[in-house]
Structure formats: C-alpha cells, structure tokens
Amino acid sequence: MKKRISGVVVSLSLLVLLNSCGVMFGGSRYEGTIVAKDRPSAAIYVDGQKMGDGQVTALFPRNKALNVELKEEGCDTKKQTFNTAFRTGNFILSVVSFGLIGLGVDLGTGAAYKPDHINNPSVKKVSDKKYTFNVDYSECKK
C-alpha cells in the first residue's frame, strides 16, 4: 500500500514538474485559420500540401514558420510566409515557476513560440491557441 501511494505521489510530481507554462497555456500547436481574401475558389497549400479551398482551419506547430501558397487557375501563385515570434511572457513565467526544466520543455516542444501577430497585420490573434491568417490575393484579377 505504501509503495502504491509513493508511486502516485511520484507520478503526480513528475506530471507537474515536466510541464511548463507554455505547454500548459498554449501547447506545442495552435489552431490556424488561413483565409484567401475574396478568393473562395483559391487552392490553399501549406508546406506544399493542399489543405483546401478558400478557407482552411488546421493545427500547426508553434516552432515553424507557416509557408502558405495560394493557387487559382489563370493566376500566378501567391506565396506568403508567416514567421514565428518568441513568447517572452511565457519565457519569464516558465523560468520563474518551473526553472530550467520548464524552459527546456518549452523550447523542446516548441511551446515557446507563437505566430508573429505583432509585426504582421495579416495575422490576427483570436486567443493563445487560435490565430487567423489573411492572405491577400488581389493580384489575381480573374
């Protein structure tokens, strides 16, 4: 009985210690909605993989830039890269509350990053876990 209680206590302690601020409050992925502005029939590709037409919602890793391509017959391909930014507030909270272990977990899982909605007006932050990416395809006059 004593071993079982010790096992539960150790498991719960590891669960708390091996999480960090970024993982708990943002995760290593976010939900992104990509919108082809005024082009509902434009094919949307992310990292070369077709995701859908007009508007797409999917989960994307936080630690990678989002490479979007829009394609529509009779128009040139529109490419846009949405860069990531470091989550400074998350970094400070992770170091203060979870120390180096929390920092390592955030960096290792990618939870220390977010889409750069501050420097890119095409990115709208809906919440810590949801972002909208508007891609202007106005050069397609079709």
pLDDT at position 92: 64
Distances (CA, A) of 140 to 40, 67, 72, 126: 12, 19, 8, 28
Q: Which residues are CB-neighbours of 71 under 8 A, at least 6 positions away?
A: 42, 43, 45, 77, 78
Region for residue 74 given its phi and psi (left: phi exceeds 0; alpha: psi -120 to 50; beta: otherwise): left
- Residue-level pLDDT at 26: 57
Strands annotated E in 38-77: 43-46, 49-53, 55-61, 66-71
Beta bridge partners, 60, equal 30
Domain extent listing, the chain: 22-136
pLDDT in tens, the chain (142 residues): 666 776 666 655 555 555 444 455 556 789 999 999 989 999 999 999 999 999 999 999 988 999 999 999 999 999 999 998 876 666 666 656 666 666 667 666 767 778 999 999 999 999 988 999 999 998 877 6
